[in-house]
Structure 1
Amino acid sequence: MLEIGTKAPDFTLPDQNGNMHSLSEYRGKKVILYFYPKDNTAGCTKQACGFAERYPQFTEKGAVVLGVSKDRVASHKKFEEKYGLPFTLLADPELAAIQAYDVWQEKKNYGKTYMGVVRTTYLIDENGKIVKAFEKVKAADNPEQMLGELG
């Protein structure tokens, strides 16, 4: 996990519509950058739908929500359409941002060890600095938690 107070690494990734996004283009806004393992899984769907339900409150507070996983653009598009997600989902199959934010880690499940995305959420301020970082977040609670962090 990256340290609070450090500059957030910039990246350029495609969204669910194939449009390119860079973190630097969001300067002047607070960014909730959340990394999740996989589209259309139970926890990831709860987390995404939680952000979607509260999306108007995030925008009122001047924040942008960006979800990142290693799923491809087509998978993100289906996920967005299925649940009516109003925010940007970024496809990172090459793990560029995922590794830059140190969320590609060893995981264990049912006695098996493998590499995967650890559910992590960063709050980045208007100047591109990391002000909060939460590792191994609870998917269902994370959207409300992040709304609280915005004050």
Structure 2
Amino acid sequence: MAVAPSFKLPNVGPGPDPLSLSALAADNEFVLLLLQRDYHCGNCRKQVQVFADWYDEFHERNTEVVSIVPEPRERVRSWQEEYDLPYPLCADPEAAAGEEYDQPVRFGPLGRFSDLLGRMPKAVLLDCRDGDPTICYTHEGSSTWDRPELEEVFDAIDEQR
């Protein structure tokens, strides 16, 4: 298992602002990072709502869900106002977390220029039980629709336990 890159990002959802990986690791056995494409992505919006609907299942597994959107705080805040997510929602205007976690980007230089064209979704599960978060599961989207099913994520958490 690879050591998880640390981060500290503006958080417009529940929890501390800014939100750091070290704070998450101190309070949770697992952290699930949902690296989103961009503010306009309809599939991203659906995903954050579905994971919010199942948040109690994650909480029972001592897992915190964190959605990271490569957009400025003001744009990301509108998601929180619209969806009232029960978990942290972080703004990452420079896409630094996406870069650190090797979020897939298609179309070479053109994809790197425009998140809308190139950035693909990614889910990363971190095991924080020993104090140093490690990556124990990833799902790299190959298209805008390619996201992990809830059961796949729950199975990944349960397998680690």
Q: Does 1:130 align with 2:126?
A: no
2:89 maps to a residue whose letter is L
Aligned residues: 144
2:155 aligned to 123, 128, 148, which one?
Answer: 148
Instruction: Give, in angstroms, the shift of residue 135 of structure 1.
Output: 0.3
Select between 30-39 and 99-108 the one with higher mean Cα deviation. 99-108
In 2: Cα distance, 1:129 partner to 1:103 partner: 16
Select between 78-87 and 98-107 the one with higher mean Cα deviation. 98-107
1:150 maps to a residue whose letter is I
* 1:1-151 equivalence runs, <5 A: 5-16=1-12, 19-28=17-26, 29=28, 30-103=30-103, 105-107=105-107, 113-115=110-112, 116=115, 117-126=119-128, 127=130, 128-136=133-141, 138=145, 141-151=148-158
> With CA pairs under 8 Å and 6+ residues apart, which has the higher RCO, 1 or 2?
1
Q: Classify 1:92/1:81 alpha carbon distance in 2 versus 1 (closer, same or farther; 3 Å).
A: same
Is the 8 Å Cα contact of residues 35 and 67 (structure 1) preserved in structure 2?
yes
Instruction: Give, in angstroms, the shift of residue 76 of structure 1.
Output: 1.5
**CA RMSD of the aligned region, Å?**
2.3
Instruction: Give, in angstroms, the shift of residue 75 of structure 1.
Output: 1.4
In 1: Cα distance, 2:146 partner to 2:77 partner: 20
Identify, as 1 or 2, the structure richer in helix.
2
TM-score normalized by structure 1?
Answer: 0.84
TM-score normalized by structure 2?
Answer: 0.79
Is the 8 Å Cα contact of residues 47 and 139 (structure 1) preserved in structure 2?
no
The unaligned stretches of length 5 or more in structure 2 are none
Q: Classify 1:114/1:95 alpha carbon distance in 2 versus 1 (closer, same or farther; 3 Å).
A: same
In 2: Cα distance, 1:27 partner to 1:118 partner: 26
In 1: Cα distance, 2:126 partner to 2:89 partner: 17
Is the 8 Å Cα contact of residues 44 and 139 (structure 1) preserved in structure 2?
no
Select between 138-147 and 95-104 the one with higher mean Cα deviation. 138-147
The unaligned stretches of length 5 or more in structure 1 are none
Is the 8 Å Cα contact of residues 122 and 147 (structure 2) preserved in structure 1?
no
1:57 maps to a residue whose letter is E
Identity %: 26
